[in-house]
Structure 1
């Protein structure tokens, strides 16, 4: 029992191998004495394995604890195996273990070459003036060239209505309507 409780995983060995060792220690407790075997529940052993993970696995251990599901020991060891292989793949992709790396970001200082106005002079604002184009043409309402449709005296009342006037002697109005 003491070996099980004091077992600490180390960084330089496979986590899966160390988990198997902890599982073996738990199974050996069952066979320790014939009179009163010490059987540890699988949940206890699985939680023990998670709590004994090395420091670099702390985030992964926390994520396992937050899943709120009961792990079988074999399922947990399988999960550790997948994570260990993914970490090994990441390390191979990054290069040498323990090597330092840095990303360099350079700021574009092209604005330093531009002339700045002296601080005691106010900055000049650029203003643009637009010339209004003179309207040409005739009123759309009455056809007069003296004014435009917006100021047309014929339009002032807005009391007019659109109507259809039929031709005299016609039998029907537009679109087959009877004459007025």
Structure 2
């Protein structure tokens, strides 16, 4: 088989040769003819031939020709799409209006150098206001008024009963 002609037509020719042999009392099995067609596919069809060989099903010659026809039509569409895409070319051009005026404006601007960043370490920083109590002598993490830093306490009332001398303790 060659790439210049339709693969389906060439497969039909091989099928006709097998029919002539059958008429002359030399019958070839369908599996053998289908395998011969797959083996003789052109070099550009080698990947498709490999996928056909890896299929587990047994092809009849008519099924194989139908599959080849579908693949050939798909390849024809792909090549037509590529040719149309290659023939039509486009270019996008973006221009800035008054390019030279924009350059002149840049030249007249004073050059401003960015200030170097200064970093202060740890305790050299100025203390701001505490977010919890508003005092300026400590940060919120050191605030004694924080809920998680407060000591938990309970109010209790101690009373003595009059006659027995026993003390009763009752939480409030």
Quick check: which one's strand share is greater? 2
TM-score relative to the length of structure 1: 0.54
Gaps (5+ residues) in structure 1? Answer: 1-8, 102-125, 167-178
Q: 2:119 matched to which residue of 1?
A: 130
Q: Distance between the aligned counterparts of 2:28 and 2:128, measured in 1?
A: 100
Contact 1:139 1:147 in 2 (8 A): no
Q: How many residues align?
A: 127
TM-score relative to the length of structure 2: 0.56
Cα deviation for residue 58 of structure 1 reads 1.6
What per-residue deviation string (whole Å, max 9, x for no partner) do you get for residues 131-150 of structure 1?
Answer: 47522335847x76544454
Q: Distance between the aligned counterparts of 1:62 and 1:159, measured in 2?
A: 79
Quick check: which one's helix share is greater? 2
How does 1:34-113 map onto structure 2 within 5 Å?
A: 37-95=25-83
Task: Give the SS at the match of 2:118.
Answer: coil
Considering only aligned residues, what root-mean-square deviation do their CA atoms show, in Å?
3.8
Gaps (5+ residues) in structure 2? Answer: 88-114, 157-170
How does 1:142-153 map onto structure 2 within 5 Å?
A: 146-148=137-139, 150-151=141-142
